[in-house]
Amino acid sequence: MPDRPLDGVRVLDLTNVLAGPYCTYHLALLGAEVLKIEMPERGDLARQLGPDPALNRRRLGASFLAQNAGKKSVELDLKEPGGRAVFTELVEHADVLVENYRAGVMDRLGLGWDHLRTLNPGLVYCAITGFGQSGPLSQAPAYDQIIQGLSGMMSVTGTPSTAPQRVGFPVADTVGGLSAALAVVAALAGGRGAFLDVSMLEASMSAMGWAVSNYVVSGVEPQPMGDQNATAAPSGTFETADGPLNIAANRQEQFETLCRLVDRPGLLTDPRFAEREARKQHRQALNEALNEALRARPATEWERILPAAGVPAARILTVPQAVESPQLAARDFFTELRSPAGGPLRVSGSGVLVDGEQLAPVSPPPALGEHNEELPELLARWRGGPTHGALPSARESRRTSAPRPA
């Protein structure tokens, strides 16, 4: 892909672990030049996280490798005068800075927004925290599980007998990172400097959609329903001859087609199932009848029959099965790179094709400090000003039009 939407944009990445690195990974996929600033000898904590102890000891943990392809790594100690001097010069020529320290840490270092915008009025400064820069929890430590609990997410995950349960991947970190990336891109498009205060808690609650809106709009408190969909029936996980199958017959015509294909026309004339709200009220009886019918065939056969007739249905895959999906392969979702640890490394894309092409990282994840020796050359290039068309011209407009604080 010769041109990407963020070609020419320069990003300073001071983030650790997941939410911040996930944000800057997407900026890198979109074409930004991402310079990861890491503490000497330690680096991003994610370098020590993952299922392979040998990789963790080499500061190349799987958690780091998954979110940092396409970036450069430079070691700088921001508490030391020399490191601070180099960092502030980088800030003067950057477009974006992303950090996910606890609120106030950068201010205590003398490198907060109020100071950095005097160096670069056009800087887009994105701070990702668990709870935001203000409020009674702003100084509280936050990890994904803490946010899942405080957002109400865990209370609606699982069944009535098993809830609360944690979602099986760090969804609060992921949603926080995506929200931050969206805000950064919006600020760049707006053409002026900005301070972006991203709260993982608020981003997570925004992403919960109906679970929150059903309560704030209609006063209905959501309850854990396991694999069932509160908005429709039949919609959930069903039994087949050889394993589970998801079906989402949310529309009336889909329900009618489903009844015909499983050879249960009597369900259509049963007053308990005649229309949407009645089906929701008699969900258990409907599910039992459908399970009995669906057990006549294996899941793979139903997966072929039902979607062909317009009824959404699919098997429940394991992660290895999903990774090897022909659908993902057809869209080049995974990219194979050379791991800094040696051997091949597969990393994921963004889920977006640009002009028909997958946004693949342009280089492997960096070893800690891999680009230290290139820093003088990079600084010289950044001092030279824009090297690309539209977006760097927006950079210059941000520099000249954003007012300096009094």
Summarised one tens digit per residue, pLDDT across range 194-206 is 999 999 999 999 9
Residues linked to residue 72 through DSSP beta bridges, in sequence order: 35
Residue 226 burial (CB count, 10 A): 14
Q: Which residues of 34-61 are buried (b: 16+ CB within 10 A; e: fewer)?
A: bbbbbbeeebbebbbebeeeebbeebbb
Q: For residues 44 and 36, what is the distance between their CA atoms, to the nearest angstrom?
A: 9
* DSSP codes joined into one string, 328-396: HHHTT-EEEEE-TTSSEEEEE--S-EETTEE---SSPPPPTTTTGGGHHHHHHHHHT---SSHHHHHHH
- What is the distance between the alpha carbons of residues 15 and 48, in angstroms, rounded to a whole number? 15
Q: Per the structure block, which two tokens stand in for 68?
A: 């940092």
Q: What is the pLDDT of residue 1?
A: 56
Q: Does 83 score more than 90 pLDDT?
A: yes
Segment 321-334, tens digit of pLDDT: 999 999 999 999 99
Tokens linked to 49: 């996280």
Topology of domain 235-317, per CATH? formyl-coa transferase, domain 3 (3.30.1540)
Sequence-ordered list of residues with C-beta below 8 angstroms from that of 7, at least 6 positions apart, any chain:
31, 32, 388, 391
* pLDDT for res 403: 36
How many whole angstroms separate alpha carbon 70 and alpha carbon 360?
A: 9
Q: Which residues are catalytically annotated?
A: 173
β-partners of residue 12 are 35, 97
In 79-122, the DSSP E strands lie at 96-99
Band (pLDDT 50/70/90 cuts) for residue 271 is very high
Domain with CATH 3.30.1540.10 in the chain: 235-317
How far is residue 172's CA from residue 207's CA, in Å, rounded to a whole number?
9
Measured distance CA(92)–CA(200) in Å, rounded = 28
Distance CA 140, CA 46 (A): 21
- What's the mean pLDDT when you consider all of the chain? 92
CA dihedral 66, 99, 375, 115 (to 10 degrees): 170
What pLDDT does residue 384 have?
86
Secondary structure, 3-state, 197-252: EEEHHHHHHHHCCHHHHHHHHHCCCCCCCCCCCCCCCCEEEEECCCCEEEEECCCH
Cite the residue boundaries of each domain of the chain with CATH code 3.40.50.10540.
Answer: 10-209+328-401
Do 89 and 37 meet the contact criterion of CB atoms below 8 Å apart? no
Cβ–Cβ under 8 Å, residues 38 and 319? no
Q: CATH number of the domain at 10-209+328-401, out of 2.130.10.10, 3.40.50.10540, 3.30.70.3270, 1.10.3720.10?
A: 3.40.50.10540
Backbone φ and ψ of 294, nearest 5°: -70, -20
Question: Token pair 């996280």 is at which residue?
Answer: 49
pLDDT tens figures, 137-181: 999 999 999 999 999 999 999 999 999 999 999 999 999 999 999
Question: What CA–CA distance (Å, rounded) separates 345 from 334?
Answer: 10
Provide the pLDDT confidence category of residue 217 given band limits of 50, 70 and 90: very high
pLDDT at position 21 over 60: yes
